[in-house]
Amino acid sequence: MLVPRYNRYSLPSRQILPEAKYHTRRTFLSQIGLATAALLTGCDSNNTAQAAGSKTVSGFDLPPRPSDKFYPAKANPAFTSASVAPRAITKKELAGHYNNFYEFSTAKEEVDRLSAALTITPWTVDIAGLVEKPFQIGFEDLIAKFPLEERVYRMRCVEAWSMVVPWSGFPLKALIDFCKPLSSATHVRFLSFNRPEEAPGMRGGDYPFPYYEGLRLDEARNELAFVVTGAYGKPMPKQHGAPLRIAMPWKYGYKGAKSVVKVEFINHEPKTLWNDLAPEEYGFYSNVDPERPHPRWSQQFERDINTGDQVETLKYNGYGKYVAALYPNPVF
Ligand SMILES: Nc1nc2c(c(=O)[nH]1)N[C@H]1C(S)=C(S)[C@@H](COP(=O)(O)O)O[C@H]1N2
Ligand SMILES: [Mo]
């Protein structure tokens, strides 16, 4: 997303171009061809070689893992496609080709290709901070502890576009219980991977990576809070945050950290990357609220990337019956 020019982490100039110009640049890149585009974006030689060949490298290409057998997961009847009507599920190819994952690129259409370089086997998650006993667990061991379910959720980015995705995973509450936090823990913090050698966007120094996010513990225990390991009935593509990411469907998308390597329990409100960059634009809570404009744009409507239609933004992204009680007082 965009940050103001005056900020010390301000984006490269192309990011503050208006949408139309920005899309022209994307079209240009696709016209000159993938191989050249890969060179321009400084992606590693291995990737470039593959991109130049006939097979397109994509985050949809995943290594086989034992956990593949858990998909497709059983649909949770409370969150089927009926629960998001009149919205329809976003086409998988659209959702997987328009991604915010700044460790790879600030250009959404590039993330699918660049994220292919992320190694997801092995993958270790660190459980740290105020827990009975800190531990590390491999992704394959972790996922085997929880029955997977499928949930169709709306996803609203703070940039005023949205999609609808059938995620697979398990409740964040189940993960939290498994971590055995101490009663002194009030918040949970998520950290994403730190591998600049695999992620070109981490090499520029424009953002204080690794990506960090956090939640109040009661929000994290809400029934909607979800650990996502799959999408569209399959293991999750890398561009969506393989092997595991968080989904908080009543909040703007950036509250859901991708490719998580650390879950830390603490006793204070954690700092978050976007809040540190532009506190007046990205609050800690960041609940979807059409009545609270972003300082630089309205939040009353959003573009459904499936249809291109402008649709009305709903308070709490339509999930108020689940979460409104968490916020007796206004929060930002
Ligand atoms: N690690 C990490 N997590 C991240 C981001 C990111 O850049 N890095 N972008 C966030 C933003 S702004 C959004 S909108 C969603 C996008 O998720 P999607 O690509 O699966 O739609 O991921 C969020 N999680
Ligand atoms: Mo976003």
CATH of 55-326, picked from 3.40.309.10, 3.30.450.20, 3.90.420.10, 3.40.50.300, is: 3.90.420.10
And the tokens for 157?
């980015």
Report the residue among 258, 281, 288 best suited for mutation to probe ligand 1: largest number of ligand atoms under 8 A from its CB.
258
Q: In this model, does residue 28 exceed pLDDT 50?
A: no
> Which among 297, 285, 295 has a CA at the least distance from the CA of 330?
285
194, exposed or middle or buried, with CB in 10 Å at 0-12, 13-18, 19+?
middle
Any residues with CB less than 8 A from the CB of 25 and at least 6 apart, and which? 14, 17, 107
Alpha carbons 245 and 257: distance in angstroms, whole number: 6
157 CA distance to ligand 2 middle (Å):
4
Residue nearest to atom 5 of ligand 1 (CA): 101
Exposure string for 218-251, b = 16+ CB within 10 A, e = fewer: ebbbbebbbbbbbbbeebbbbbbbbbbbbbbbbb
Exposure string for 56-85, b = 16+ CB within 10 A, e = fewer: ebbbbebeebebeebbebebbeebeeebbe
Average pLDDT over residues 300-309: 98
The amino acid at 234: K
Residue nearest to atom 21 of ligand 1 (CA): 99
> Which among 180, 211, 206, 217 has a CA at the least distance from the CA of 195?
211
The atom of ligand 1 lying closest to the CA of 257 is: 3
Cβ-based neighbour number of residue 55 at 10 Å: 8
Q: In this model, does residue 19 exceed pLDDT 60?
A: no
255 CA distance to ligand 2 middle (Å):
8
Ligand nearest to the CA of 100: 1
Report the residue among 1, 60, 101, 111 best suited for mutation to probe ligand 1: largest number of ligand atoms under 8 A from its CB.
101
pLDDT of 35-79, one tens digit each? 333 333 333 334 444 444 556 699 999 999 999 999 999 999 999
The atom of ligand 1 lying closest to the CA of 98 is: 19
- In this prediction, residue 29 carries a pLDDT of 40
Alpha carbons 41 and 203: distance in angstroms, whole number: 11
Instruction: Quote the Cα angle for 193-159-303, to 5°.
Output: 120
> Which among 93, 237, 88, 72 has a CA at the least distance from the CA of 150?
72
Report the residue among 11, 91, 100 best suited for mutation to probe ligand 1: largest number of ligand atoms under 8 A from its CB.
100
Residue 287 · residue 316 · CB < 8 Å: yes
Domain borders along the chain are 19-54, 55-326
Q: In this model, does residue 12 exceed pLDDT 70?
A: no
- In this prediction, residue 40 carries a pLDDT of 38
Q: Is 240 in the pocket of ligand 1 (CB under 6 A)?
A: yes
Alpha carbons 123 and 112: distance in angstroms, whole number: 20
96 CA distance to ligand 2 middle (Å):
14
Tokens 């292919």 identify what position? 116
Provide φ and ψ at 311, rounded to 5°. -125, 155
pLDDT of 174-190, one tens digit each? 999 999 999 999 999 99
Q: Report which DSSP code applies to 42.
A: T
pTM of the full structure: 0.87
Residue 58 · residue 116 · CB < 8 Å: yes
Q: Identify the sign of the CA torsion 254, 207, 8, 24.
A: negative
Q: In this model, does residue 18 exceed pLDDT 60?
A: no
Q: Is 103 in the pocket of ligand 1 (CB under 6 A)?
A: yes
- In this prediction, residue 3 carries a pLDDT of 62
Cis (ω within 30 of 0) for the bond into 293? no
Q: Is 253 in the pocket of ligand 1 (CB under 6 A)?
A: yes
Average pLDDT over residues 127-152: 98
Q: In this model, does residue 305 exceed pLDDT 60?
A: yes
pLDDT of 229-255, one tens digit each? 999 999 999 999 999 999 999 999 999
